[in-house]
Amino acid sequence: MEKLKIIVNDTLSFEVESEELEGLDCVRTGRSTLHVLKDSRSYEIKILGTNFSEKKLSIQVNGNTYQAEISDPYDQLVNRMGLLLDNFHKVDEVKAPMPGLVLQILVAPGEEVKKGDALLILEAMKMENIIKSPGDGTVGEIAVQKGQAVEKGQVLLRMA
């Protein structure tokens, strides 16, 4: 039995057993929408965004938007031991997570950025995606220009 810890909007924290999630009455109603029945209550869920590497979700439940972070027992142990990868990971390059069009560049070479700071806006599939810094550092070289089309994995900027 695996217990998952879920933090919602950085304020509400609770644990749920993975078997409990597997037992939900859940039907996919669209590409990013679900209908869930739990305890005789109906929930319309829309997945607004995902970050699988950080195990974060942005979802809308019955019209209300929530940010959720999920950690499994291994993640919880690593956190308790103070061995988070963020403490050891140096960012050299920021790459495009998907093909798209650079709409706006929000930083300049030499600018200090913190993890989560917005770096640029990439339009993909008619949606604007804010590309955020994966760690602290100084912007070195910006490898793209406003209006430029980029491919998945293409370097957007390099850190100094």
Question: Does one domain contain both 107 and 127?
Answer: yes
- 83-108: string of b/e by CB count within 10 Å (b at 16+)? eeeeeeeeeeebebeeebebeebebe
Residue 32 lies in a domain: yes
Give pLDDT tens digits for 111-137.
999 888 999 999 988 888 899 988 888
Domain ranges, residue 61: 3-78
Examine the domain organization and report whether 73 and 122 are in the same domain: no
Say whether both 71 and 96 belong to one domain.
no
Q: How many domains does the structure of the chain reveal?
A: 2
Of the candidates 96, 78, 73, the one whose C-alpha atom is nearest the C-alpha of residue 156 is 96
Shared domain check, 73 and 102: no
Quickly state the pLDDT bin for 85 (edges 50, 70, 90): low
| Opening angle at CA 55, ends 149 and 144, nearest 5 | 20
Predicted model pTM: 0.48
Residue 50 within any structural domain of the chain: yes
- Write down the pLDDT at residue 2: 82
